[in-house]
Amino acid sequence: MELYVERGFENTTVAEIAERAGLSERTFFRHFSDKREVLFSGSAGLAELLTERVAAAPKTAAPLDIVSAALQAAGAVIQERGEWSKQRQAVIDANPELRERELIKLASLASAVAEALRRRGVKGPSASLTAEAGIAAFKVAFERWVQQPTKRNLPRLVRESLDDLKAITAGH
């Protein structure tokens, strides 16, 4: 991450990353398929956390409340890596290819959440709509969190974004 911040993503090589980390390039490629994966390797773990939280939610919980709780848990994990997460986003924002990759990651998270909702009995279109809306609210909350000069609580921002969505859909 330091190299990406110092030199820019495009100007950083795998050899430089490996050297800075005290690794060989071969060892780097055992962990990452390419230098983009340094930024996106946590996606599978995040999807797993979200789907586990959806599955473990109370049976009587409303789908949007289930997604809200799962996304707040994801927000707490991301907040733990606060400065790294903010630097990661700055690197992504500076590179169109990485912005596209981030959108793909968000779409795959929405698909994972939708599938977890379907396994709970939420019908197809409703599961997809709930998951997509939840991920959109999460994205808005994350952007607010990254841009805040003071430390704000990401899980709270996620909840507030989803509460705003509920208020808008209720006509308030």
**What number is the average pLDDT over the span 22-32?**
91
With a pLDDT cut of 90, the percent of the chain lying above it is 73
CATH 1.10.357.10 occupies which residues in the chain? 42-169
pLDDT band, residue 149 (cuts 50/70/90): low
pLDDT above 90: residue 145? yes
- Per CATH, the number for 1-38 is 1.10.10.60
pLDDT at 2: 87
For the chain, list the strands marked E by DSSP. none
pLDDT band, residue 152 (cuts 50/70/90): confident
**What number is the average pLDDT over the span 128-151?**
90
CATH 1.10.10.60 occupies which residues in the chain? 1-38
For residue 79, how many C-alpha atoms fall within 13 Å in the half-sphere facing its CB? Answer: 20
Rounded (to 5) percent helix, strand, coil in the chain: 75, 0, 25
pLDDT band, residue 155 (cuts 50/70/90): very high
Could you tell me which CATH class the domain 42-169 is placed in? Answer: mainly alpha
